[in-house]
Structure 1
Amino acid sequence: MWPRVKALYCHPVPIDHWPGEAEILERLPLRSCRRRGAAIDVIVDRGRENRSQLVFTTARGRDVVFWQSARTRKQARPDVRTPTARAQGIPELQILVDAHERYAYQFTSQQVSTLRTALPCGDYGLEINAVLVASVERKSLADLVSSLTSGKLRYQIAELAALPRAAVVIEERYSQLFTLNRIRPATVADGLAELQVRWPNVPIVFCETRSLAEEWTYRFLAAAQVWTQTEEAMLQRLSSLRIGAAGEDQVDPPRTPSTAQVREWARAAGLPVPDRGRLRPDVWDAWRAANAAKGETAPEATRKTTPQGPIRLRQ
């Protein structure tokens, strides 16, 4: 028995409550057993799976103990180094930081210059030609739950969805949603799923730690800048093609007059017409005959011939 995948929960009991006939699963010789603050480091005398730790903490007001190994601890808090390579090959990316962001990312390990300004939405943005084209909203787990339950997150994502590119980054793992004790975890999970379906163009990304969320934000905005430049060039090419095609082949469509215009023409031509309502089919036929050379058309024919005779249709 060993904590290989996740930490094992151990229920602490006083020594006098320890059962006299406890079942022993395995006996192992120890090389070291030393207390370090709120944890006890245990080293077993064998070649593999020999280092573990008993962590004493509290959960929901109760004393609990977790038995974890070096492997499970690394999975809980990945000890990784974020890359320092330039994102998308950009020598220096300028990122706008919202003036209301209290604990802003510094981007010290990336090639970034920051500028404090008031952003209409999001905490970190990218401007191209003085136009905000991408933005990232940063959330801690506590802020995520608070804004979701209050309804604020819905409005924030709706504003982000109006941008060409936007995202929400969470400084925590998705699994931590199910450890919440002051709100039903299913409520938070359902709320996030609903927002993602409602605005699929604004991804909600969980990045485990603050440093990984900062790294992801940098890479996302850099990719958005490259995409914007590529998209702008493509749109310019398409616009020039449309203009060229329109200049060669475009023909003005025939104009369709209104009933008031045909009524005025009929009166000038001496045809009896009512002051209001629909015009008779013969009036429209007369107008077509008089204006056929000008390329103007009236609405579809007002009569359809059948074996039984003409049927009058509404204009």
Structure 2
Amino acid sequence: MAEAIGLGLLAAYGGGMPQDFLIARNPEEGTTLPFLLRIPLGPDGIVLKAKDTWPRTSKVYCHRAVGWPAQPDLVESVPVRSCVRRGAAIDLVLGRGRENRSQFVLTRIRGGREAIFWQTARTAKQARPAATLPTARAAGVVDLPILVDSHERYAWNFSHQQASTTTRGLPAGDYAVEWDGQVVAAVERKSLPDLVQTLTGGKMRYLLAALADLPRAAVVVEDKYSRVFALERVRPAVVADGLAECHARFPSVPILFCETRALAQEWTYRFLAASVQEAADEAGGTSRLADISPATPPSAAQVRAWAQEQGYAVSPRGRIAAEVMAAFERRHQ
């Protein structure tokens, strides 16, 4: 199994006391994985590159590193109570009161490429919220064109929703929609650590001011509000007060906690779709994205009549071809 996965892992330490779990800064320049982890398994340990120092709000993506540096820039060294390989996972228990139990899961992703995810019981549960996302498109929208800011890293692709994306520089926000060539709504996406850093670093006020210049805007956080009060590296009251001040100063830009990445993306899609419809109504016209209301679906006779007018060959009875239905839905674009 170890050879198949390719990490050369061992099921035990091979004698002696467990070593420390080490976290250091990654000396590579321009990397998106700024930390190195050394898991005390095997004679030389297992060295991984990681995106964060602990899976606090979501799973942390890791990738194998060439080796541990001779003079590491250590961030943390924590005694290990237990480190055991169980199948395709490594269970790690640290010798401290909090943030002490985690697991490294080895898997294969698209194309057979190896991937390693560092998770805790909390983040594993959060990745599977007790909610099923709807597959129905937003009311009145056939295919929502969403603009994605060119500086957005790990951008949403809205593959679950009926939307298409285009990347370009945005004046505010990470995701936006236009009406008549003007941005009419934007959404700024934040993870909880990013939100905390933006608040405590003094950048939040400028970010919200830029969003407030738009007709509609919001900030979505990929986490629960209750997680604010579980923060350890900053006083929770400082973050809570900062959020309250933002709401009071910029009431037109709400900050919503959407629990997970998937739910935040779903809310953003529907907010942007509704914003386009509202902009069209304000302009006194009909949205180019307008479609027949889901409450009054078209009849087969209506679709056939339209198709015949457009020169499509349709039978008087039976199922209408998918390409004809798709063309019918696109008729207002």
Compared CA separation, residues 57 and 222, structure 1 to 2 (3 A): farther
- Other-structure match for 1:190: 241
Residue type of the alignment partner of 1:194? E
Q: Does 1:170 align with 2:221?
A: yes
Residue type of the alignment partner of 1:214? Q
Compared CA separation, residues 181 and 233, structure 1 to 2 (3 A): same
CA distance in 1, matches of 2:208, 2:255: 10
Q: Does 1:146 align with 2:197?
A: yes
Compared CA separation, residues 199 and 97, structure 1 to 2 (3 A): same
* Structure 1 consecutive aligned stretches of length 4 or more whose deviation exceeds 2 Å: 34-39, 55-65, 73-77
- Other-structure match for 2:135: 84
Compared CA separation, residues 201 and 60, structure 1 to 2 (3 A): farther
Q: Does 1:125 align with 2:171?
A: no
Q: Secondary structure at the match of 1:136?
A: strand
Residue type of the alignment partner of 1:101? E
Residue type of the alignment partner of 2:206? Y
Query: Displacement, 1:35?
Result: 11
Output the aligned Cα RMSD.
Answer: 3.0
Query: Displacement, 1:81?
Result: 2.2
Contact 1:38 1:56 in 2 (8 A): no
Contact 2:126 2:260 in 1 (8 A): no
Q: Does 1:109 align with 2:160?
A: yes
Query: Displacement, 1:153?
Result: 1.2
- Other-structure match for 2:11: none
Q: Does 1:232 align with 2:267?
A: no
CA distance in 2, matches of 1:227, 1:186: 37
Q: Does 1:96 align with 2:157?
A: no
Structure 2: 5+ residue runs without aligned partners?
1-80, 103-120, 286-333
Contact 1:88 1:226 in 2 (8 A): no
Q: Where do residues 202-217 of structure 1 align in structure 2 (5 Å cutoff)?
A: 202-217=253-268
- Other-structure match for 1:161: 212
User: TM-score, normalised on structure 2?
Assistant: 0.50
Contact 1:38 1:57 in 2 (8 A): no
Residue type of the alignment partner of 1:185? P
Contact 1:95 1:124 in 2 (8 A): yes
Question: 1:201-242: per-residue Cα shift (whole Å, max 9, x none)?
Answer: 1010000000111111101000101111111218xxxxxxxx
Q: Secondary structure at the match of 1:233?
A: coil
Compared CA separation, residues 209 and 196, structure 1 to 2 (3 A): same
Contact 1:96 1:125 in 2 (8 A): yes
- Rg: which structure is higher? 1
Compared CA separation, residues 161 and 91, structure 1 to 2 (3 A): same
Q: In structure 2, which of residues 161, 183, 186 is the aligned counterpart of residue 135 of structure 1?
A: 186
Compared CA separation, residues 60 and 137, structure 1 to 2 (3 A): farther
Compared CA separation, residues 36 and 94, structure 1 to 2 (3 A): closer
Q: In structure 2, which of residues 262, 272, 289 is the aligned counterpart of residue 221 of structure 1?
A: 272
Query: Displacement, 1:200?
Result: 0.6
CA distance in 2, matches of 1:180, 1:121: 28
Contact 2:149 2:170 in 1 (8 A): yes
CA distance in 2, matches of 1:192, 1:141: 12
CA distance in 1, matches of 2:204, 2:213: 15
User: TM-score, normalised on structure 1?
Assistant: 0.52
Q: Secondary structure at the match of 2:229?
A: helix
CA distance in 1, matches of 2:223, 2:215: 26
How many equivalent residue pairs? 183
CA distance in 1, matches of 2:238, 2:159: 37
